[in-house]
Chain A
Amino acid sequence: MSIRFRKELDILVRDNMITAEQSLRIEEYYAMKTSDRPNRLFTIFGIFGALLVGSGIVLILGHNWDNFSRLIKTILAFIPMCIGQILVGYSIFKKKNNSWKEASGTFLFFGVGISISLVSQIYHIPGDLAFFLLIWISLCLPLIYLLKSHAVALLCVIFSTYYAIEVGYWKYGSKEVPWTYLLFLGAIIPHYYKVTKENINSLTITIFNWVLPLSICIALGTFIKENEELGFVMYITLFGLLYNVGKLPIYNKLSTLKNGFVAIGSLGTVVMFMTFTFREVWKEIPFEYVMNSTEFYISLFLLLLVLLVIIFSQKTDRIKGFDIFKIVFSVFWIIFFVPMLVEVPTLITNVIVLILGLNLIKKGSEAMSFGRLNYGLLIISVLITCRFFDTSMSFVVRGLLFVIVGAGFFVANYLMFKKQKIKS
């Protein structure tokens, strides 16, 4: 407990606000609540220590010491990995605490990478970076379940994303699709699910709640090859899926800051729809699509997933009211695949964005949430700004619109501030 808090308690006792006995009980309560803190800190430092030492060794060995013979280099290649294995073995056999498991797991993760990379160096093995990452991750994935290690799980997510980027974006002229990324993700998700069930409010879950959806968003683009236009459908469906996942009953108690699924899903949906409010974008979209393509099948798969999530959440959590963000992606499917004049989908997307903004303003003011209120206002402002580019409105009208939106910001916030004051 902080010294400041203890002083505050003394003041409260002195001013007869609480008794000395109550003060003692409060102290005991907080002492009990924070009893696991040193252990947690130790875990964090352990992980960071192992991370730094591991990546430090990677860098040192990256120097490629020419003076060492092949035999010495080969022995060196195994040392960090063997130390990691001994530490992990010790943690398992001696049933050491989480701090030990997390730190030793992180160190072994890097030890394996060091070993393969040094052997590649010694024999000048040309294997590309993607293949190297693939072997590395595969050899470390089981550590997640062996040690119940969150740090190794996170490292696996991050390196799997790197692998997907390497295969899908950076490999020159490659038409390869990183399917193995899905396998990696599939192997990590059960661990995440287990931790979610154990302690939804933990820091680990907050980190996962941002890293996982971000990783999926980055990696999805690597699956888009020849049918780029279908990439839009893939992404909008993915954002719908992320939003719906974030709104599952299990995440109910989480704030937006702790729920990356909702934040990324909502922002992604708005950005995608906003992009399609331009007539020019619709003009570029062809009328015929290659249905027999990876991109289309992935879109269908995502659609199936999102429908399952919606059905599941409707069954388990009926109390919640209608949320347009949950289903708005389906409108995109209709206007994208049903042939119509470009003006029609352009108009529909404009209306949708407007509705999304208004909906947020309404919900924000009802829930007294400044964040949601201003997010809604921001969406409408950006929509109006966007329309300046492709409509021939006079400067006076444009200026007036800006003034009205600006005034709207002030008025809405002021009214809510007033409402909040009255309530309190």
Chain B
Amino acid sequence: MKRIYVIGLFLVLTAAQLFVPGQMIWKHENVLSSGNMYKFKTQPIDPTDPFRGKYITLNFELNSFRSFDNKFTYGDQVYVYLRKDEEGFAIADTVSKESLKNERDYVVAEVTGNYNGKVNFSLPFNRFYMEEDKAPKAEKVYTELNRVDSLNSALVYAKVYIKDGLGVLEDVMIDEVSMKDYVKR
């Protein structure tokens, strides 16, 4: 390969390598700064990613809608249009297979099942990366606080900013305290 091509290709590659993470940052920062904040009630479980470390998977309460439509099949993408209740928690307003022309915030979820008039889906922002020793503690804390016999079950929710269909998870809260701080107690 001619030297000029090598240098040209190297510069293009370097730019691409910088562009990909840069673009990821820009996109997510934009949602965090100008997106709409919703609260999603959730339950945490801790798994591991070989490269990105420990995270907790969030099992959201908002995970299904009533429909007898057989068109919704496993793996399909659905547009979940949202509104907030009085306390700011997210409620599914409309669910559609196609994008609708309205002003509501929406997220694109994946159908995980359709049975007996109930279509289950999984929201995309269900990973919350935590320090490796905190993730298992988070799951433990949640389980202890929400035991059936527990008198004061804790309110656990995810703070998610939404804009143009992209949801960015900012934090997970237990009784209004960031989970990262809560597990330190």
Interface of A is mostly: helix
- What are the interface flags for B4-28 relative to A under an 8 Å C-beta threshold, 1 for contact and 0 otherwise? 0011011001101110110011001
Known: A64-B132, A124-B168. A85 touches B52 (CB 8 A): no
- Residues on B with C-beta less than 8 A from A77 are 21
List the one stretch of B60-68, B90-98, B123-131 in contact with chain A.
B123-131
Of residues 1 to 59 in B, which have CB atoms within 8 Å of A's CB atoms?
A: 1, 6-7, 9-10, 13-14, 16-18, 20-21, 24-25, 28, 49-55
Query: In the bound complex, do residue A124 and residue B24 qualify as a contact, i.e. CB atoms below 8 Å apart?
Result: no
Chain B interface: which size bin? 35 or more
Contact: B128 with A146, CB < 8 Å? no
Complex CA distance for A64 and B130, rounded to whole angstroms: 6
A88-96, A347-355, A357-365: which lies at the B interface?
Answer: A88-96
A66 touches B180 (CB 8 A): yes
Of all chain A residues, the one with the shortest Cβ separation from B171 is A124
Residue in A65, A112, A122 whose CB lies within 8 Å of B17: A112
- Assuming A88-B10, A92-B7, A119-B25, is B17 touching A62 (CB within 8 A)? no
Q: Across the interface, do A64 and B131 meet the contact criterion of CB distance under 8 Å? A: yes
A64-B132, A124-B125, A173-B74 known; A85 vs B6 contact (CB < 8 Å): no
B121 to chain A minimum Cβ distance, whole angstroms, is 14
Q: Is the CB of B49 within 8 A of A124?
A: no
A113 near B125 with CB under 8 A, answer no
Q: Which residue of B lies closest to A62 (CB)?
A: B53
User: CA A139 – CA B22 in complex, angstroms?
Assistant: 14
Contact of A78 with B21 at beta-carbon distance under 8 Å, contacts A124-B125, A173-B75 already known: yes
Identify which of A63, A89, A124 gathers the most chain B CB atoms within 10 Å of its CB. Answer: A124
Chain A residues 90-127 with CB under 8 Å of chain B are 92-93, 108, 112-113, 115-126
Chain A CB within 8 A of B162 CB: no
B78 interfacial by beta-carbon distance below 8 Å: no
Contact yes or no, A125 B28, CB < 8 A: yes
- Of chain B, the residue at the smallest CB distance from A111 is B17
Sample of 13 more A-B contacts, CB < 8 Å, known A64-B54, A64-B132, A120-B24: A62-B132, A63-B132, A64-B53, A78-B21, A93-B7, A118-B21, A120-B52, A121-B129, A123-B169, A124-B125, A124-B127, A125-B24, A129-B51
Residues of chain B whose beta carbon lies under 8 Å from any beta carbon of chain A: 1, 6-7, 9-10, 13-14, 16-18, 20-21, 24-25, 28, 49-55, 74-75, 124-132, 134, 168-169, 180
